[in-house]
Structure 1
Amino acid sequence: MPEGPQATLTLRKATVKDIEQETPDAATYSFSVEDGRDVADFSPGRFNMLYIYGVGEVPISVASSRWDRFLMHTIRSVGRVTNQMAKLRRGDHVGIRGPFGVGWPLKEAHGKEMVIIAGGLGLAPLRPAIMEALHDHAKFKGIKVLYGAKTPQDLLYRYEFGRWAEMGGLELLVTVDKGDPSWKGHTGVVTSLLNKVDILSEEVVAFICGPEVMMKYAVQELLKRRVLQDNIYVSIERQMQCGSGTCGHCQLGPVFVCKDGPVFGYPRVKMFFARGEV
């Protein structure tokens, strides 16, 4: 896929090749793109604009890595466009523009311990970063993934957890806010998992994605553990419409989430972090 201004304007047809139902209201769609480049040349954490013909388009984080066969997006049904996407079947078509935005700075974590904290659907934009780290785990002092969801039924990619563990170099901890009789894992908010791991404090680089209130408390817990704020990165994905900073809907103080983010170093957005519209 092209980058820069051409990516903003070019709408490519993509065909649904596979659908994995993740949760009752979210599924992962694998797409084959018409130009033959099924996995875009993007850094983990970026997003595409997905278009349903005659309905509209929405920004969706890329969930695939360069080791996946197809371009993948995990989509939750929460509005007019995504509700229509939930009706997609294999062989159906959508339009795709992108990729857009600033992704996770993986090179900043080389030689350090990577701590990934994800809540709910926030694991989707972090999955490519996890896959990158797993394939190059020797470049990190450690990789810890702390993941939480409301219930066991709301956990993404459960079918991949075993494969991640087999690849080595990763410590994965999972929790749910409320378990059921079949749940044998940890129960509690995702930040409580920080009490179950030893982290290297000043040698940690943290990537956080999820509901903003969760990210706020995750940052607070990391700072209590003497993680440097310059080593904390958050993904903010709200009110994006055009993908290029043109419409202004996603402006957050002096920055545009779609163009300057969605991944930001925490110091850059901490003054606006837990606010509504600015």
Structure 2
Amino acid sequence: MIPDIFYVKRRTEEYPGTFTLHIKKKDDQPQTSFQPGQFNMLYAFGAGEVPISMSGAPHSTSVYIHTIRTVGLTTQALERLREGDQLGVRGPFGRGWPVEKTTGKTIVIIAGGLGLAPLRPLIYHLLSKNRDATDIHIFYGAKSQPEMLYSDELKNWAQQLTLQTSVDMATPGWQGNVGAVTSLLTTAKIDPENTIAFICGPEVMMRFAIQELIKKNLPRTSIYLSMERNMKCATGHCGHCQWGPTFICKDGPVFCYEEIHDWFHRTEV
């Protein structure tokens, strides 16, 4: 699959080392729509290609939005892009969040650090459906307040739904919870018969989040998480992202916990 040529329409610095690109097709034609939870392969010319989750509104075809952390040569090259610069894009790929299963359910969203980015399209989708805000609960944790993504949106979401935040390390002026985001779950009231949970973040955080949800008797079939592995082809052919019997790029990145619980708790897989 040959990458399409896109250009950077807008670039936003989230915090040092993490940035958001708003990208558009070179010919200004509408992009392909996507499902919340899917990803694109972004190609930095002369550097390489990396999988990056969609982090914009799924119903918008004017731009793709990607929030990226600088961790290697390719993401460093993407970080140097400015408005008008070009990049290659393949996608969207993968299985997204099962939005069709949210109807009539109480929604629990648990995000750690950059894990909020793949969940953001899901939040946009839920808010676009004019749902009862009391049915949407977001638990978001970051290392510190300056490292929280989408600070302006967090303020808006706090006015529309239930949002609880936590930081690993408090900075001057922080008056919220200090500790892992999973500590917020210990006192959360969850109806296991009418709740569906979506989790994204570091794997260790997701493990502890799942443990808390299981303690509250939430069925494994009602827990969904987004996994991350090294991807190259994004179509399940190269084998780089094989995880047990599955390929993260093709069978995921979103999985129901019931599908993968045996593999999820194995080390070095």
Moved more, 191-200 or 207-216: 191-200
Match of 1:201, SS state, is coil
CA 224–37 in structure 1, closer or farther in 2 if over 3 Å, else same = farther
> What code does the residue aligned with 1:240 have?
M
Q: CA deviation at 1:219?
A: 0.4
| Structure 2: distance between partners of 1:80 and 1:50 | 13
> What code does the residue aligned with 1:185 have?
G
| Structure 1: distance between partners of 2:145 and 2:197 | 24
Runs of 4 or more above 3 Å deviation: 35-40, 66-69, 274-278
Q: C-alpha deviations, 1:47-71, integer Å up to 9, x for none?
A: 0000011111000000011355521
1:147 paired residue among 137, 140, 145:
140
| Structure 2: distance between partners of 1:114 and 1:137 | 14
Q: C-alpha deviations, 1:133-163, integer Å up to 9, x for none?
A: 1111437870001000111121111111122
| Structure 2 residue aligned with 1:64 | 56
| Structure 2 residue aligned with 1:100 | 93
| Structure 2: distance between partners of 1:37 and 1:130 | 26
| Structure 2: distance between partners of 1:154 and 1:17 | 24
Match of 1:271, SS state, is helix
Q: CA deviation at 1:190?
A: 0.4
Q: CA deviation at 1:39?
A: 4.9
Alignment size in residue pairs: 268
Q: CA deviation at 1:85?
A: 1.0
CA 179–38 in structure 1, closer or farther in 2 if over 3 Å, else same = farther
Structure 1: where are the runs of 5+ without partners? 1-8
Q: C-alpha deviations, 1:182-203, integer Å up to 9, x for none?
A: 2122111101111343222221
Match of 2:123, SS state, is helix
Q: C-alpha deviations, 1:216-249, integer Å up to 9, x for none?
A: 0100000001111100001001111111111101
Match of 1:230, SS state, is helix
| Structure 2 residue aligned with 1:121 | 114
Q: CA RMSD in A?
A: 1.7
% identical equivalent positions: 47
Q: CA deviation at 1:35?
A: 5.0
| Structure 2 residue aligned with 1:160 | 153
| Structure 1 residue aligned with 2:15 | 23
TM-score, structure 2 normalization: 0.95
Match of 1:130, SS state, is helix
1:50 paired residue among 26, 42, 61:
42
> Does structure 2 retain, via aligned residues, the 8 Å contact 1:113–1:140?
no
> Does structure 1 retain, via aligned residues, the 8 Å contact 2:198–2:225?
yes
Structure 2: where are the runs of 5+ without partners? none
